[in-house]
Amino acid sequence: MRAADVGDPMMGRLVRWQGPTAAAEAIRRGSLPEEFVVRENIPEHGPSRIAELHRRFQAWRARLEIADPAADLETGHRAGARLVIPGSAEWPTQLDALGHSRPLALWVHGSADLRFSCLRSVGVVGARAATAYGVHIAAEFGVALSEAGWAVVSGGAYGIDGAAHRGALVGDAPTIAVLACGTDICYPSGHHELFAAIREHGAVVSECPPGVHPTRARFLIRNRLIAALSRGTLVVEAAVRSGALNTAGHAVSLGRHLAAVPGPITSEMSMGCHKLIRDRNAVCVTTPGELIELVGLIGDDMAVPARGPVVPRDSLNEATRSVLDAVPLRGGAGPASIAVSAGVDLTTALSCLGGLAAAGYVERVPKGWRLRKDQPQ
Amino acid sequence: MRAADVGDPMMGRLVRWQGPTAAAEAIRRGSLPEEFVVRENIPEHGPSRIAELHRRFQAWRARLEIADPAADLETGHRAGARLVIPGSAEWPTQLDALGHSRPLALWVHGSADLRFSCLRSVGVVGARAATAYGVHIAAEFGVALSEAGWAVVSGGAYGIDGAAHRGALVGDAPTIAVLACGTDICYPSGHHELFAAIREHGAVVSECPPGVHPTRARFLIRNRLIAALSRGTLVVEAAVRSGALNTAGHAVSLGRHLAAVPGPITSEMSMGCHKLIRDRNAVCVTTPGELIELVGLIGDDMAVPARGPVVPRDSLNEATRSVLDAVPLRGGAGPASIAVSAGVDLTTALSCLGGLAAAGYVERVPKGWRLRKDQPQ
């Protein structure tokens, strides 16, 4: 895990072809198997493939020389983490969708079983520099998802990520923080207590060995894990230039659901979300129920459509409504003139006026009929 | 115009078939042309067609008896309005898309030529009980549309309508208020001065004769005119149950563009907009430019896509970025260890470090290289 950069697909192919132990031996030995080199050198991978393979191979070898896997394992275990490898019971098989950039293994630190937790999980991501609106929404969605039995997967950062984790800790479902550094590193440092709570009610996960610090590249590569672990990703707030949009891109390219929360068009932090919605890459989501409907199973998880109150006026038939519209607010009008302006005959007008009076809409006055001040809406 | 309810398609067909004068004469005479009755009685119009025609005919006749078209014309003209009829130079021919519910004529009061004004026009509609956010957005869009030469068509109501008109009065393009009452009636009464300004820099329009007061039915029927006059309709704020959604429905059924402005999901006044966007009936619009691109002509009116700032870091190549990521923030690291953790050879690392130092990203310290505190973003 120390030899190649996280998510290196060339290393991914070597490990998949030879197995991790043989791959490490080959690198140490300083000679790649001839057959692998031939396989890598196919035209579809581009012309300068062999030069690139050679360059990476030298880098892997240099790093492997100073790597100490046994010490890594011991450090990790002493910190309380476990190494989960492909094929083990806790391995989330949905990561296979990443192909050759699938992680070689994952460090997991926490009470939750990673595979089981992520069966019903949603990525909730967004800006670090979130607004109060975004933080509020992220926390509300976190609570509602967790209470509905959905694990919230996020990146443990300040802003939206932290709010989503905190909300999720309220419910029963576990929450998963995927870090861009070793699970023993607390980044950001202000989330020390949050990570402790996540370890207790979920898990902190990383493909980086213990002691590895985050870099920009690792953040971007980490984002593919959030997308790949979850059934779908929700972007709560994101500027137009934002790591959350990178995660969103991974969700789209993996064929997972993508949703975004709209916000005020005057807020820069909603511009990324609006762009995703405008480009029809993301579904516009306004309630946790709508999100669960999107990522859930058809039939099990249908959202209740937004609907206004049904008012008594709706239940009036067309003729009665016309008559009601023809009754004046002030003064009063006789049934004949009401019938004419409503466009109905006199008998109909009289029958409608009787019904409207009984329902409290109109009243009889010396000059005929008029609307009641306290009529139902 | 006094005989039938506004938008009555049966009257529309009669007038289209016979012309308005002959239609009025037939109604006064008390006998509809045999051929028209036969034409109306086609199965696709439903079974009880003849009974309905008879009922309406009686209503038309009763109303026509008390109507005084000459007095209406005189009242209208005295108030300063003019009657615009189909076929005249000022008639907006896009109303023909309404088919048999096309208005029989329109009263127009104002300096603007109705047909010419509506060639490049957008309906801007929304809730009366708008929030400060909605009013701000409506006014901003009104200003920007008018300054870009687009007429704003709206309903003259409190809230979004009024703000859109007021914004539009800032620019050069005319603004058109379509009322659900006679153009001589000021409804709502608080918009007395606004309507005066609109008459001066645009027009107040109605299909109701002078003196006619608004009713619920007339509001709904009026909405089809806002949709039909404009190239597209923008819903700024709307509750789930809202007249603006009725206008939106007309825009969709007329095949015109429909757009909606997103807002906070915590705001009831944005729920209708979000529903339109979620159901993919409306395009999510966040700037006036995006709206103009939607309703405008391809090529002439393209919006500038939302984009974040380009920062110097973007211009670094991949190797240089890896090297930069490998340079520690504190202490310092030698070029060899930086090369190993960046995954590049020593020559590349040295060359990248030189470039990064020149650009102000890194600095030389006793222990090797470290990041500068004041490095560019």
Residue of chain B whose Cα is closest to the Cα of A57: B343
Is there a common fold for A93-295 and A312-371? no
A137 touching B, CB under 8 A?
Answer: yes
- What SS3 state is found at B299? coil
Cα angle vertex B116, ends B115, B122, to 5°? 85
Q: Which residues on chain A are in Cβ contact (under 8 Å) with B59? A: 340, 343-345
Asked whether the predicted pLDDT for residue A151 surpasses 80, the reply is yes
Residue of chain B whose Cα is closest to the Cα of A283: B278
Considering only the beta carbons, identify the residue of A262, A308, A341 that sits closest to B262.
A262
| Tens digit of pLDDT at every position of chain B (377 positions) | 688 888 888 888 888 888 888 888 888 888 888 888 888 877 666 666 778 888 888 888 888 888 888 899 999 999 999 999 999 999 999 999 999 899 999 999 999 999 999 999 999 999 999 999 999 999 999 999 999 999 999 999 999 999 999 999 999 999 999 999 999 999 999 999 999 999 999 999 999 999 999 998 999 999 999 999 999 999 999 999 889 999 999 999 999 999 999 999 999 999 999 999 999 999 999 999 999 999 987 656 667 666 665 556 777 888 888 888 888 888 889 888 888 888 888 888 888 898 888 888 888 888 888 888 777 65
Asked whether the predicted pLDDT for residue A215 surpasses 70, the reply is yes
B341 touching A, CB under 8 A?
Answer: yes
B237 touching A, CB under 8 A?
Answer: no
d(CA A92, CA A170): 24
Closest CA to A105 of A87, A119, A132: A87
pLDDT mean across residues, chain A: 90
d(CA A224, CA A96): 12
Largest CA distance in chain A: 109
Distance from CA of A115 to the nearest CA of B (A): 31
What number of other Cβ atoms are within 10 A of residue B290's Cβ?
Answer: 21
Better-predicted residue by pLDDT, A191 or B26 = A191
pLDDT for residue A310: 52
Closest CA to A3 of A14, B335, A82: A14
Distance from CA of A262 to the nearest CA of B (A): 6
- What SS3 state is found at B27? helix
Closest CA to B359 of B347, B339, B374, B345: B374
Interchain contact, B262 vs A270, CB within 8 Å: yes
Using 50, 70 and 90 to split pLDDT, how confident is the model at A182? Answer: very high
pLDDT for residue B344: 87
Q: Which residues on chain A are in Cβ contact (under 8 Å) with B136? A: 266
Using 50, 70 and 90 to split pLDDT, how confident is the model at A187? Answer: very high
pLDDT for residue B126: 97
Residue of chain B whose Cα is closest to the Cα of A290: B278
Interchain contact, A264 vs B326, CB within 8 Å: no
State CA B23 to chain mean position distance.
Answer: 36
Choice among A41-50, A96-105, A337-346, B186-195 with the minimum mean pLDDT? A41-50
Residues within 8 A of A (CB atoms), B 40-69 only: 55-56, 58-60, 62-63, 66
State CA A8 to chain mean position distance.
Answer: 25
Mutate to test the interface with A, among B216, B341, B370, B371 (most CBs of A within 10 A): B341
Write the CB contacts of A157 (distance below 8 Å, at least 6 apart in sequence). A128, A188
Q: Which residues on chain A are in Cβ contact (under 8 Å) with B1? A: none
d(CA A292, CA A300): 10
How big is chain A, counted in residues?
Answer: 377
Domain locations along chain B:
9-67, 93-295, 312-371
Interchain contact, A278 vs B283, CB within 8 Å: yes
**What are the angstrom distances between the C-alpha of A327 and each of A95, A140, A340, A371?**
68, 48, 11, 6
Report the top-level CATH class of A312-371: mainly alpha
Closest CA to B176 of B149, B160, B195, B148: B195
Strand (E) or helix (H) holding B176: strand B175-178
Tell me what ipTM this predicted complex has. 0.80
Interchain contact, A287 vs B265, CB within 8 Å: yes
Choice among A68-72, A287-291, A305-309, A336-340 with the minimum mean pLDDT? A305-309
Q: What is the dihedral of CA A314, A335, B59, B52, to 10 degrees?
A: 50
Strand (E) or helix (H) holding B177: strand B175-178
Quote the percentage of chain B above a pLDDT of 90.
58
Please report the number of interchain residue pairs, chain A to chain B, with beta-carbon separation below 8 angstroms: 131
Closest CA to B232 of B215, B213, B255: B255
Instruction: Give the phi and the psi of residue B259 in degrees, each rounded to 5.
Output: -130, 155
d(CA A70, CA A73): 5
d(CA B51, CA A178): 71
Q: Taking the CA of residue A320 as centre, how many other CA atoms within 13 Å lie in the half-sphere pointing to its CB?
A: 17
Considering only the beta carbons, identify the residue of B56, B136, B284 that sits closest to A284.
B284
Asked whether the predicted pLDDT for residue A224 surpasses 70, the reply is yes
d(CA A151, CA A168): 8
Better-predicted residue by pLDDT, A184 or A372 = A184
pLDDT for residue B377: 53
Interchain contact, B286 vs A278, CB within 8 Å: yes
pLDDT for residue A212: 92
pLDDT for residue A343: 86
Interchain contact, B306 vs A270, CB within 8 Å: no
pLDDT for residue A309: 56
Considering only the beta carbons, identify the residue of A59, A277, A325 that sits closest to B215.
A325
pLDDT for residue A377: 54
Q: B85-94 long-range CB contacts below 8 Å, 24 or more apart?
A: B89/B115, B90/B114, B90/B115, B91/B115, B92/B118, B92/B229, B94/B118, B94/B228, B94/B229
- Into which CATH architecture does domain A93-295 fall? 3-Layer(aba) Sandwich (3.40)
Helix axes B20-29, B9-18, angle to 10 degrees: 110
Asked whether the predicted pLDDT for residue A71 surpasses 60, the reply is yes
What number of other Cβ atoms are within 10 A of residue A136's Cβ?
Answer: 17
